[in-house]
Amino acid sequence: MGIDYRVCPNCRETYPDCGPTKICGGCEEVFCGYCDADVTGEIDEETGMRPEDGTCPVCRYDVVSDGDLLAWIIKEYSLGNKKGLAKEYKKAMEERQNV
């Protein structure tokens, strides 16, 4: 069996899957055991017991992944201001070329 590596959503460090982890009882997001991610209601790995009211930085939107943030920005802008955004992009690209 190989070792898998994960990226902790809280500290963004890479850690081995077999190391200590904290699993949020609310959203099942997995954190490394090395940082001080504020995870309440952890899933008990031995019993699989899952508390009802677990929260973690991801549940509370204290941390957000780049992908999630980008998806949100694209959604927000495409609903409201796509043309405006395209114009801003063009302007920014042109300014970059003129430097």
User: Which residue from 55, 45, 54 is spatially nearest to 21, judged by alpha carbons?
Assistant: 45
Q: Which residues contact 11 (CB under 8 A, 6 or more apart)?
A: 32, 34, 35, 37
Nearer to Zn ion, 5 or 89 (CB): 5
The yes or no reply on residue 10 touching Zn ion (CB under 5 A) is yes
The contact mask relative to Zn ion for 38-67 (x = CB under 5 A, - = no) is ------------------x-xx--------
How near is the Cβ of 98 to Zn ion at its closest, in Å?
42
User: How many chain residues are in contact with Zn ion, going by CB under 5 A?
Assistant: 12
